[in-house]
Amino acid sequence: MQIDVINLGNMEYSKALSIQTQQWEKVSREEGRDTLFLVEHPPVLTLGVRGNKDNILIPEQELTRMGVSIEQINRGGDVTYHGPGQVVGYPIINLKHYGKDVHYFVDRIENTFIKLLREDYGITAASGEKTYTGVWVGKEKITAIGIQVKRWTTMHGFAFNVNTDLSHFSWIVPCGLTDAGVTSIQKITGQEQDMQKLFKRTAEVFCDSFGAKPNFVESNFLEGNYE
């Protein structure tokens, strides 16, 4: 089994969401291949269906002045920050191929980063419990996860902090959790990381977690097509 991997580069959130939706329609009808989109966003706050705007701590006018948008979206979870230095992944996966098991899907995402951090950096990470979903290093989250599943096909996904400016998380209460912090590979290692290497490694380990091989595809979504 293969999963197509498409690196969208640096792209505005709204455009990446449109691309996700386009591919979700195909995959959910079993007219397209399971796909992992990888992207790096300019600074943006996304608010899930159960999100509380009170968890955004900066006035919206000030965020607008800084060029930061707020996107209300249909994934689970509360408010999340995306920005430069993150590997953001949007798996469009038909779970009919994986036993129609949402818990398995989330577990495999968490396993991706637990394994990558252990094997590549010697960092011990763990999955959270209940409201503490995602991947954690101690009491600090390094990967946020928020998904939506319709017609047994997934949308949205994960945000993995690599070289992220963690001060931007002061704009929000991350995921609505007041007693938790955030971290990144750069913070833990003290070294800036090669983002392209991390995009590739994330794809490789993600696909391996699902027992699949990555099929790296050149993106022509910039021209509005993907066949």
pLDDT of residue 199: 97
Mean pLDDT across the chain: 89
Place of tokens 């709204």: 14
- Cα(88)–Cα(144) distance, integer angstroms: 9
pLDDT of residue 30: 94
pLDDT of residue 106: 95
Instruction: Classify residue 174 by its DSSP letter.
Output: G
Taking 70 as the threshold, does the pLDDT of residue 215 lie above it? Answer: yes
Backbone angles phi and psi of 161, in degrees to 5: -80, 115
pLDDT of residue 126: 95
pLDDT of residue 131: 61
For 210, the 3-state DSSP assignment is coil
Number of structural domains found in the chain: 1
Contacts with 224 (C-beta within 8 Å, 6 or more apart), sequence order: none
Instruction: Look up the CATH number of the domain holding residue 184.
Output: 3.30.930.10
- Cα(71)–Cα(44) distance, integer angstroms: 7
| Active site (annotated) includes residue 207 | no
Percent of the chain with pLDDT strictly greater than 90: 69
Cβ 105 vs Cβ 95: under 8 Å: yes
Host domain of residue 47: 2-223
pLDDT of residue 226: 47
84-116 residue pLDDT tens:
999 999 999 999 999 999 999 999 999 999 999
Cβ 135 vs Cβ 128: under 8 Å: yes
Backbone angles phi and psi of 81, in degrees to 5: -100, 135
54-79 residue pLDDT tens:
788 888 888 888 888 888 877 766 78
134-145 residue pLDDT tens:
999 998 999 999
Residue of 93, 137, 175, 188 marked active site: 175
- Token duo for residue 220: 């022509």
